[in-house]
Structure 1
């Protein structure tokens, strides 16, 4: 069981006598959170001076709120991005770039290492990248673009007619 996020003072506070819980529309994470807060405040206007009650009751109006919390990812998150065996190289590069774009202040040297590490060891691009020294992320993506063109031409030649 998790510990309450409230202080002991709030946790132990009792509602005023004859308090009836007003009806609230639960916040499900799919609407404007500011609008939900304004609705809550206007409904609880009679109790606005009772901070403990305001906190405890507000928590009951939240059905889901985690989708509005931004989870900050760091550059090392990119080591979780792997090329799937049946995935086209173009799609892997696109997916990797999308994940990188979500990271504020992403370190390009870490991103470059993660991009390479996400490739299977037997992939021709992996072999070429490992042979080059001081390969920047931009150069890695440029090399990947060349391999994508080669990969697509190779697939087109092997396709049944």
Structure 2
């Protein structure tokens, strides 16, 4: 207590120790802080009490008077009393388990290695060089260590830090380039036609086309075609088109299971077949006569369901309702046709459902529609109102 303080001495602020954590860490912090003040051994002993709290203060107060003559003696007593709280340091051999996993980047592995090394006692730099290289995954950095082995552990860490920073910068640069590539590609994809049929004529005229029947034509020249092959070559099968099935699910035909089963048994789906007739004007309307009706009692509540071709796509299960004032296309069908929202026009009049609620629409679009089977085919332009609602619309 008689030891004078150094000139301009200020006792450092240190986190107090209550006796529940590692005493070794507290001693290291205390020594480091007091070393900067130039305090003597006696001042080190005198100031140590102010860094204690709770159980540790009780221990200090229980020391017999005159039992401490140096700070080294105080340190031994302190470490001995709180020895149970000393954290066991890892062995050098534990570093063999610190490996770079397939999912670890170089920065992640380097941070994990440094954390483990801090807890290892008596680390050997030369052995650490070998373990670090063996635990490293193959790649540019591993090849660099093989070609130019570092001489010291510090040189290894410096080189590893530079490679890790380069890897982070390269990853960031790649993400920026991919982002610009996607940004530049998006407008081109929007301008691209959704189907081959929408490409203007003449665009692909200069591209040579491969004749799928070239082999058959060659056999015809040599007189090797059979009668069936001759017929097939003269009447090639039409190109198979994409199909979209529209109507599905829902309590059609009634509110009870019995009514819906009865409706399903009476449902008739078929194609209209008419005998050949003389050529008529181009605007010949498609009509259905009594001959087209299915067998069964009249009047009936059967739904008229047909298939039509829209934008070169066969759309199945199209419900024909002569009482509707608009032609409704659900948004799912619209997207399957490969159409874009930019092609939609504005619809100013809202639609009304069976419940009386107004149904918002996405817009309207005019599409070319084809109905019938060759040679009985009719083409015309139809305006469709696109809606997301799955409720029936009046």
Q: Tell me, yes or no, if structure 1 residue 75 matches structure 2 residue 92.
A: yes
Q: Tell me, yes or no, if structure 1 residue 115 matches structure 2 residue 132.
A: yes
Structure 2: runs of 5 or more not aligned: 1-18, 22-54, 56-83, 180-394
Alignment correspondent of 1:129: 145
In the alignment of these two chains, the number of paired residues is 100
Q: What is the Cα deviation at residue 129 of structure 1?
A: 0.8
Equivalent position to 1:90, from 107, 121, 127: 107
Higher percent of residues as helix: 1
SS class of match (2:101): coil
2:92–2:120 Cα contact (<8 Å) kept: yes
1:82–1:119 Cα contact (<8 Å) kept: yes
Query: What is the Cα-based RMSD across aligned positions, in Å?
Result: 2.6
Task: Kindly provide the CA deviation profile for residues 99-149 of structure 1, in whole angstroms up to 9, marking residues without a partner as x.
Answer: 0010122111111111111111x2111111122245311111111111112
SS class of match (1:70): coil
Higher percent of residues as strand: 2
Structure 1: runs of 5 or more not aligned: 1-30, 36-66
Alignment correspondent of 1:138: 154
Does 1 or 2 have the higher relative contact order (CA < 8 Å, sep 6+)? 1
SS class of match (1:96): helix
SS class of match (2:114): helix
TM-score, structure 1 as length reference: 0.53
Task: Kindly provide the CA deviation profile for residues 41-83 of structure 1, in whole angstroms up to 9, marking residues without a partner as x.
Answer: xxxxxxxxxxxxxxxxxxxxxxxxxx95733422221111011
In structure 1, how many angstroms separate the alpha carbons of the residues matched to 2:157 and 2:104? 17
Aligned pairs for 1:1-161 (under 5 A) are: 32=20, 70-120=87-137, 122-159=138-175, 160-161=178-179
In structure 2, how many angstroms separate the alpha carbons of the residues matched to 1:130 and 1:75? 23
TM-score, structure 2 as length reference: 0.23
Flag the structure with larger Rg: 2
1:82–1:118 Cα contact (<8 Å) kept: yes
SS class of match (1:71): coil
For structure 1, which segment, 131-140 or 148-157, has the greater mean C-alpha deviation from structure 2 after superposition?
131-140
